Amino acid sequence: MPYEEARRLQLALVEAKERGGGFPDVIFFLEHPAVFTLGRRGGRGHLKVTEGFLEARGIPLIHTERGGGITYHGPGQLVCYPIVDLRGKGWKVVDFVGALEEVMIRTAREWGIPAGRNALNRGTWVGTEKLGSVGIAVRRGISYHGLALNVNTDLEPFDWIDPCGLRGVRMTSMQRLLGEEVSMKEVRRAASRHAGEVFGAEFRMTDLDAVHGLLARGNPGPGRTGDDAP
């Protein structure tokens, strides 16, 4: 899904949840075409190539409201966007960020990758290499944006930036660490399962048509749990 389309959909869901009435929490698991995004801290100064260089390759540079600096999304990277009422569940933002890191850590370890945390920098790390990033936004207690886990990601575009504004940091991927391509379908399933464990939630899988349908009908009201609810 193109980044801007995913962003618009997240914002529509945030607005629906702001209206209240029991609109469900939704978590998207998806991939983006190649894109660089700038968080609230900006980070254009951490772009090592010209914007013309990116335009020639058809890669957009987009400002967004998530936390953090510049980063890259592309095919082979699993992105997870939870649109969740944090206040309603008693989540503090820092704990929620830690939970997103935990989802990536548990997922990577399922493939034998010794992922963990870095005391100085958020995200998921394997030694000194960064495997996954976290960048969220919160509006009236509702989270959006989320995590990005490098599965089979082309790592070259990360060389064109200082990822998340961190100079000298090397990005890695599950494919690079394991020496072979990894099934994105299996990683997505594992991440979904671990997200359920970490968030203490049971997910009902659905497709985008059902999400759009729910938005088109407006607020479903408390207790609505039909088969078309995400």
Catalytic residues: 164
Q: Strands across the sheet with 70-73, in order?
A: 61-63, 35-38, 70-73
Three-class DSSP labels, the chain? CCHHHHHHHHHHHHHHHHCCCCCCCEEEEECCCCEEEEECCECHHHECCCHHHHHHCCCCEEECCCCCCEEEECCCEEEEEEECEHHHHCCCHHHHHHHHHHHHHHHHHCCCCCCECCCCCCCEEECCEEEEEEEEEEECCEEEEEEEEECCCCCHHHHHECHHHCCCCEECCHHHHHCCCCCHHHHHHHHHHHHHHHHCCCCCCCCHHHHHHHHHHCCCCCCCCCCCCC
